[in-house]
Chains A and B, each alone.
Chain A
Amino acid sequence: MSKQAAIPMITEKEASFDLVKLTGWLKTIMLPVIGLVVFIGLWNVLAKNIDTSLGQFPGTTAVWQQAKVLVDEHYTQQSKAEAFYERQHKRNAERVAKDPNYQPKIRAFTGAPTFFQQIWTSLYTVMVGFVMASLFAVPLGILCGLSKSSYAAINPLIQLFKPISPLAWLPLVTMVVSAVYVSDDPMFAKSFITSAATVALCCLWPTLINTAVGVSSIDKDLINVSKVLRLNPIQHVIKIVMPSSIPAIFTGLRLSLGIGWMVLIAAEMLAQNPGLGKFVWDEFQNGSSESLARIMVAVLTIGIIGFILDRLMLQLQKWVSWDKSATLR
């Protein structure tokens, strides 16, 4: 190509570069904003046209108001609790002053849990279920990936149990927990154990399957390296198998946590674990004119927390992944 011909090409390139930047900006910022605006608009229009037995379906304003109410309720409850403890403390001090032999008793504040406490309970429950499932699924997945015969033995069970809905497990889990977990002074509430166990049962499978697939597809050359070095089975797992299947394991864990969070809400509704699921259920039973708006707040909260959990897992996945060039999303 001649020199003259090359000159306009460069300017064209520069112009297209600006265009690329612009479209990039459009894609990363404008499009999500447009999506959100359209969604809110549609929501409000539709809400106005839906009349339920509990009144009109809440629009954005009603939901926003209830969100503020829930926050206020939390703070009032907290100051109530503070006042309660202060009074108790004062009373105890007075009695001790009168009678030095008196053993002061501290009674716990027993207000209804606030929205934030319910969020915390949900997070705690899902984490316990998820960790229990993972502690079981990762080693079992590694075993399945390493040995074809154990995979052949376990695979039918995986296929059988994977599609089962948490709602089907729940009655069984409830009965089993009631029968097995008997103690006068229980450390955990039964509803908590039931919910966590149901979460665990449902979020086992993605981790198990992904781990097994990851382990069974390790580069054959790396296995040969391990053989030449005569690594024993434990070293083989620690030095070769685990690091190479970390990406697959984490993909499974992320899927599992997502499923676990979905399952948890249903489990809490039925098991009456005082988390977000119970909040939704109670509001539904309550049936006041604000209930729908309050449920809507919970729904959005559930979505946002689910999103944050997924991002956290992604961050963790990026952090432990040795392949920094891989695109993870």
Chain B
Amino acid sequence: MTFKHQLELTQVAIDFPTPKGPFTALTDVNLKIQKGEFISLIGHSGCGKSTVLNLIAGLYQATTGGVILEGQEVNEPGPERAVVFQNHSLLPWLSAYKNVELAVKQTQTGRSKKEIKDWVEHNLELVHMSHAADKLPSEISGGMKQRVGIARALAMEPKVLLMDEPFGALDALTRAHLQDSVMEIHSQLGNTVIMITHDVDEAVLLSDRIVMMTNGPSATIGEILSIDLERPRNRIELADNPQYNHYRHEVLKFLYEKQRKVESVDSHRKSKSAKGQPGSLKTG
């Protein structure tokens, strides 16, 4: 079956119960994603990016509105929406191989022993981690852990790969390396990817579209920027590309001019909700 949009978020809002009453983290989030798209979510800290991701993952439930994946409402977590967590979250008592194997055994039922082994090895190979397959998470570097986390997620053969700041804790070099790996894997497998990032260059380099979020509380999607740069993309060539720099500029402008002050956003939001309309939703 084919769907016009693989993943749809419609009028999603979420309230968190707090001692001081419900806290509205997100309102009016609308997003349609096509199969194979690479989407980045960018926005200031605490605006609700992780909340959006957790909603898609099914770890949170929307208060109003909902998430639809290939025509079916998402209401619980599952391996078809694999998550790469911000701090790798590998099981520390299992080797890299065993971590991936657990995911394979759990989600790829019907594979024979040999097929499981091959599939685990294949996915470790994809992230260039075969050499350290038998090491425990505590014995490998942060970047390597993150690679294993990605391998584990890929091994579930997800329809949508969700990544919460996958490279946030890494140094610039490792980060660049992993970004290249992710681009390579994305071009090979063609998964739909939704990635949270704080890094403007990362967003522009990797994405087909960048979803920029307004500041919370009651955060929503501010702007969506389409990145029409040819793939494969090369970071060095792109550095002098005027189109690339234009995109970068757009994102920076959104983050540091339009969403700079929390107060101005608040008043903006108030006037918006008075009108009862999702204000400046501009789809690129």
A binds B: yes
Residue ranges of A at the interface with B (Cβ–Cβ < 8 Å): 219, 221-222, 224-225, 227-231, 235, 239-240, 243-244, 322-325
Determine the interface band of chain B, counting residues with CB < 8 A from chain A. 20 to 34
Cβ of B81 and Cβ of A229 under 8 Å apart?
A: no
Assembled-state Cα–Cα distance A225/B89 (Å): 8
B-chain residues with CB within 8 Å of residue A243 when the two chains form the complex: 91, 93
Cβ of B77 and Cβ of A325 under 8 Å apart?
A: no
Can you list 28 residue pairs at the A/B interface with Cβ under 8 Å? A219-B89, A221-B85, A221-B87, A222-B89, A224-B59, A224-B83, A224-B85, A225-B85, A225-B89, A227-B59, A227-B76, A228-B77, A228-B78, A229-B79, A229-B107, A229-B156, A230-B78, A230-B79, A230-B107, A231-B106, A235-B106, A239-B102, A244-B91, A322-B93, A322-B136, A323-B92, A323-B138, A325-B138
B82 at interface (Cβ–Cβ under 8 A)? yes
Cβ of B81 and Cβ of A228 under 8 Å apart?
A: yes
Q: A227-B77, A229-B102, A324-B138 are in contact. List 15 more A-B contacts (CB 8 A).
A: A219-B89, A221-B87, A221-B89, A224-B85, A225-B83, A225-B85, A227-B58, A227-B76, A229-B107, A230-B77, A230-B78, A235-B106, A239-B102, A243-B91, A244-B93
Cβ of A224 and Cβ of B77 under 8 Å apart?
A: yes
Residue ranges of B at the interface with A (Cβ–Cβ < 8 Å): 57-59, 76-79, 81-83, 85, 87, 89, 91-93, 102-103, 106-107, 136, 138, 156
Residue among A229, A235, A240, A322 facing the most chain B CB atoms (10 A cut-off)? A229
Majority secondary structure of chain B interface residues (helix, strand, loop or mixed): loop
B-chain residues with CB within 8 Å of residue A221 when the two chains form the complex: 85, 87, 89
Q: Give the residue of B83, B87, B106 whose beta carbon is less than 8 angstroms from that of A230.
A: B106
Cβ of B79 and Cβ of A222 under 8 Å apart?
A: no
Cβ of B89 and Cβ of A229 under 8 Å apart?
A: no
A-chain residues with CB within 8 Å of residue B107 when the two chains form the complex: 229-230
Q: Smallest CB–CB gap between B135 and chain A, Å?
A: 12
B-chain residues with CB within 8 Å of residue A222 when the two chains form the complex: 89, 91
